[in-house]
């Protein structure tokens, strides 16, 4: 297509956006609102995922060695523990180290003077690759001969995983529903525009315009509205995200959660927003004009 | 240029043939009037010639396009060889006279240079050089119809089809429009005018075909005798 022809069609698309000001404003607002809701849930999901990843990094299982084993025998268990597929790292802690660690949590250590390290057990600290498999790994550790007891916070891990799964499902459903709403709104706005311009379309057909020529200004109109909606939605999301992140970080919950900085996620988020804006806009515009092209 | 052979037309869901075995031949450079009372099938013939509807039977050729078998995607190509003028002008209200005419060239992909060259020439031909920046609503009915004629003419079509072009005009303006169409015909374009205004038809003395209840009679030049 010649540049001048595309320029003409682009100007026609722009004319469509501005000559139906209120309707265009409504469409842009709906797209921005849908994207903010979709984006907020997606960002919530991303943050929960990140928290769970942090937990995976930090989460550990304590495997206590049978008291009947000598320290040297206890050290031999490391090989068996490392063979487990979900194990990322293993660290052996002697009874003495365990007691020192315990003491280090208190200011006054004199109260431990009469306590001998032999009351404690040699142990392994086991770090995991995948927190969702904590229960299975715990059972596998318990089955290793020489391991007397295993301590793992399975309930807390499972709680987080449940939250992540629920948020993922809600996000997926919301994304689909809001995409359909955005598409419907966009299509309806442009359908109204095509209705008021049906005479013009009929004239275009009569003088020999092909469907592409007639469709393109409406697709461009949808595209411009989609991109504007995406841009506004992105900026508002930025403000809302930082506002909520600051409030939570300042509150007590800030000790539990670390929000991903917006700068770290803004590029992929912007790309997704623009892609959704372009798709909803162009597809909505194309859908709206379809019925008028059959003559 | 235009050839209809045993053309029949019945609209879907109806039981009556609107057109019955129509035979019509219009040669290059001819000026033909199609006359007949309301409901006789005149508009259907126009719709058939522009590809808006498809005939139930028979053969139709317009500017080398076979309209019985033409694919939908080829209709724009057919329509670029036609110039169509309507009773109600059908101008785009928020476009100037110049843009209304230029619009028809843009639609078919003409370059800006060609548009700048051709549009003033056509506006001059229809006597509207001084009105090019005005909006349609600022013009009289006759002037608006001249814009529509300029738009129909601007892509140099082989055939101009005018559907009751003077239906909304007073007798003096009507005659002006008919004379303009005759002038265009004399410059080499084939013209088919649908009209029911007997005086105008008589005034021009061209070939006449008439339709009555879907049956076509070709009077040739004998209509006036």
Q: CA B78, CA B66: separation in Å to the nearest integer?
A: 10
Is A202 part of the contact surface with chain B (CB cutoff 8 Å)? yes
Four-residue CA torsion sign, A130, A131, A132, A138: positive
Domain-by-domain residue ranges, chain A? 3-55+158-293, 60-152
Judged by CB atoms closer than 8 Å, whether chains meet at A207 and B77 is answered as: no
Burial class (CB in 10 A: 0-12, 13-18, 19+), B117: exposed
User: How many CB atoms lie under 10 A from the CB of residue A153?
Assistant: 15
Q: Report whether A222 contacts A285 (CB < 8 A).
A: yes
CA distance A113 to A98: 15
Each residue's pLDDT tens digit, A47-60 = 877 877 777 677 78
Structure tokens at A236: 């508002």
Stretches where chain A sits below pLDDT 70 are 1-4, 56, 193, 252-257, 291, 294-295
What is the rounded distance in angstroms from the CA atom of residue A160 to the CA atom of residue B44? Answer: 71
Q: How would you write the pLDDT of chain B (225 residues) with one tens digit per residue?
A: 899 999 999 999 999 999 999 999 999 999 999 999 888 999 999 999 999 999 999 999 999 999 988 998 899 999 999 999 998 889 988 889 999 999 899 888 888 899 999 999 999 999 999 999 999 999 999 999 999 999 999 999 999 999 999 988 888 889 999 999 999 999 999 999 998 888 888 888 899 999 999 999 887 766 655
Residues 56-95 in B contacting A (C-alpha not used; CB under 8 Å): 73, 76-80, 82, 84, 90, 92
Closest CA to A121 of A151, A144, A143: A151
Residue length of chain A: 295
A5 and B106 in contact by Cβ < 8 A? Answer: yes
Residue A293, chain B, CB below 8 Å: the answer is: no
CATH class of A60-152: alpha beta
Cβ within 8 Å, pair A203-B50: no
Q: Considering only alpha carbons, which residue of chain B is nearest residue A210?
A: B76
Asked if B108 reaches chain A (Cβ–Cβ under 8 Å), the answer is yes
Specify the pLDDT at position B222. 62
- How much is the pLDDT for A4? 66
């Amino acid at each position: 297509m010649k540049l001048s022809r595309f320029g003409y069609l682009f100007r026609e698309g722009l004319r469509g956006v501005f000559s139906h000001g209120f309707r265009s404003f409504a469409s842009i607002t709906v797209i921005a609102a849908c994207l903010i809701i979709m984006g907020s849930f997606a960002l919530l999901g991303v943050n929960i995922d990140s928290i769970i990843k942090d937990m995976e990094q930090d989460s550990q299982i304590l495997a206590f060695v049978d008291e009947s084993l000598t320290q040297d025998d206890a050290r031999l268990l490391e090989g068996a523990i490392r063979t487990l597929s979900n194990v990322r790292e293993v660290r052996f802690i002697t009874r003495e180290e365990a007691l020192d660690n315990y003491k280090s949590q208190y200011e006054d250590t004199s109260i431990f003077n009469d306590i001998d390290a032999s009351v404690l057990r040699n142990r392994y600290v086991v770090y995991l690759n995948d927190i969702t498999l904590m229960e299975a790994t715990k059972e596998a550790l318990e089955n290793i001969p020489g391991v007397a007891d295993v301590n793992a916070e399975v309930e807390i891990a499972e709680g987080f995983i449940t939250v992540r799964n629920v948020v993922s499902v809600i996000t997926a459903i919301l994304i689909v529903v809001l995409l359909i709403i955005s598409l419907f709104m966009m299509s309806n706005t442009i359908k109204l525009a095509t209705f008021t311009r049906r005479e013009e379309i009929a004239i275009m057909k009569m003088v020999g315009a092909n469907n592409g020529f007639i469709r393109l200004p409406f697709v461009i109109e949808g595209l411009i509205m989609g991109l504007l909606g995406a841009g506004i939605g992105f900026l508002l999301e930025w403000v809302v995200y930082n506002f909520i992140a600051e409030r939570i970080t300042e509150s007590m919950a800030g000790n539990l959660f670390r929000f991903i900085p917006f700068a770290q996620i803004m590029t992929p988020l912007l790309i997704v927003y623009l892609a959704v804006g372009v798709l909803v806009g162009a597809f909505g515009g194309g859908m709206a004009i379809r019925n008028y092209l059959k003559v | 240029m235009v050839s209809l052979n045993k053309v029949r037309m019945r609209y879907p869901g109806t039981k009556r043939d609107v057109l019955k075995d129509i035979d019509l031949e219009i040669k290059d450079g001819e000026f033909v009037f199609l006359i007949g009372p309301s409901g006789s099938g005149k508009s259907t013939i126009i719709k058939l010639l522009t590809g808006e509807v498809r005939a139930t039977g028979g053969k139709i050729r317009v500017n080398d396009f076979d309209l019985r078998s033409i694919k939908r995607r080829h209709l724009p190509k057919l329509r670029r060889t036609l110039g169509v003028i309507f009773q109600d002008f059908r101008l785009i209200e928020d476009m100037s006279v110049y843009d209304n005419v230029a619009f028809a060239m843009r639609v078919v992909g003409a370059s800006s240079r060609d548009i700048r060259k051709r549009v003033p020439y056509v506006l001059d031909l229809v006597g509207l050089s001084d009105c090019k920046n005005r909006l349609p609503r600022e013009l009289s009915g006759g002037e608006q119809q001249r814009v529509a004629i300029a738009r129909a003419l601007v892509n140099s079509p082989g055939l101009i089809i005018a559907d009751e072009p003077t239906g909304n005009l007073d007798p003096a303006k009507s005659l002006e429009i008919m004379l303009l169409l005759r002038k265009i015909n004399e410059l080499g374009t084939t013209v088919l005018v649908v009209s029911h205004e007997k005086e105008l038809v008589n005034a021009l003395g061209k070939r006449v075909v008439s339709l009555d209840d879907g049956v076509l009679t070709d009077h040739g030049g004998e209509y006036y005798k």
